[in-house]
Amino acid sequence: MTKQSLVMKDDIPVAVVSPEAISEAFPHLSYPPPHSPMAGPSYLKCKKHARRLDLATAGRGNSWIESMIILSPTHVKSSSSSPAGSSSMSAADNVEDYDSWVKTHPSALSNFEEVMATAKGKQVVMFLDYDGTLSPIVLDPDCAFMSDEMREAVREVASHFPTAIVTGRCTEKVASFVKLSELYYAGSHGLDIKGPEEGAYHSKVKVYKSLREIVKIIPGSRVENNKFCLSVHFRCVEEKKWSLLADLVKLVIMDYPKLKLSYGRKVLEIRPNIKWDKGKALEFLLESLGFDGHNNVFPLYIGDDCTDEDAFKVLCDREQGFGIIVSKIAKETKASFSLREPAEVLKFLHCLVEWRQLSEEGSEGTQGSATQYAIE
């Protein structure tokens, strides 16, 4: 799955959500909010210069909301609870689909020896997403804590291999969750990079205040300031209101042509409109570590979101290392292997440490123990 970004076009005016439509949907709310960018003349300006946000699947009016739904799956409904003619996939169909998918994206645990076979004699470099990979996806993003066991596993991995956390969150936020100073942190999808001893590169996005006003219209939505990237979470928003939320966010950034809107797993993200993503961050970190252009490096990248696909693609293009996607459902991906959930990520990290220890000890006769641990 390649990441799909919403790109602003200046030449095609289209209708936007009007205050009247929002007032009808939410009669108990006053809209536009006082002092918001949609109040008074500024809203009229937005309406006059409304611009279409185009997707790769242009021409289908609801393609972007459909993509939001695909990237933010809810619980699969059983066929007995679905109305006649419904397109909802049954639990049995979902399992069958996953079983077919996993044949082309095999488990990195049960195929651990295959994953690491090509790493022999090379420098392993570990890249890890945070949400959904090291911590479970939770309703409140501020409560996405990793377990002490996971933290210790990451610490052990970092003691053997250069290790980086690559995330959409800001470095300070994710570092406060991980609490390991020996790691590299690439926040805001790689725009905010900090090493174990280096400082971070800083910039500023200036629509945070406006977004805070706008999301008040949609109960359950919230904005997270990730310094270079603003995240609008809709994990607690009713699905029928996702479309309205996205329209409101698009209106906020309409007068900011240097920003672009993209979407992920129950999150809308506003980023600088420059060519920079987790794949670029991976390449930058490999270069900074002195591994650019070297054939003796073996990067491993584990992530669960569509934003991680840029990193998976880089590894495919370089023909080095592997991408490992964390998912319980079948999805299009550039990753070579898969893990079902953070619990399996934890097991994989344990296997990686054991593999390294066995390699250092030169205990070739016991190489199978890591695999045995993986499939238990």
Could you list the active site residues?
129
Which two tokens mark 164? 């980086």
d(CA 110, CA 197): 37
Cα–Cα distance list, 2 to 5, 152, 187 (Å): 10, 32, 20
Q: Which secondary structure element, helix H or strand E, spans residue 326, and what is its range? A: strand 322-326
Tell me whether residue 296 is exposed, middle or buried, using C-beta atoms within 10 angstroms of its C-beta: 0 to 12, 13 to 18, 19 or more.
Answer: exposed
Q: Rg for the chain (alpha carbons), in Å?
A: 22
Within 13 Å, how many C-alpha atoms sit on residue 87's CB side? 0
Q: Which secondary structure element, helix H or strand E, spans residue 123, and what is its range? A: strand 123-128
Query: CA geometry: angle at 109 spanning 137 and 103, to 5°?
Result: 90
36 contacts 210 by C-beta, under 8 angstroms:
yes
Token pair 């709310």 is at which residue? 29
Token pair 């672009």 is at which residue? 260
Pairing of strands 222-225, 230-233: antiparallel
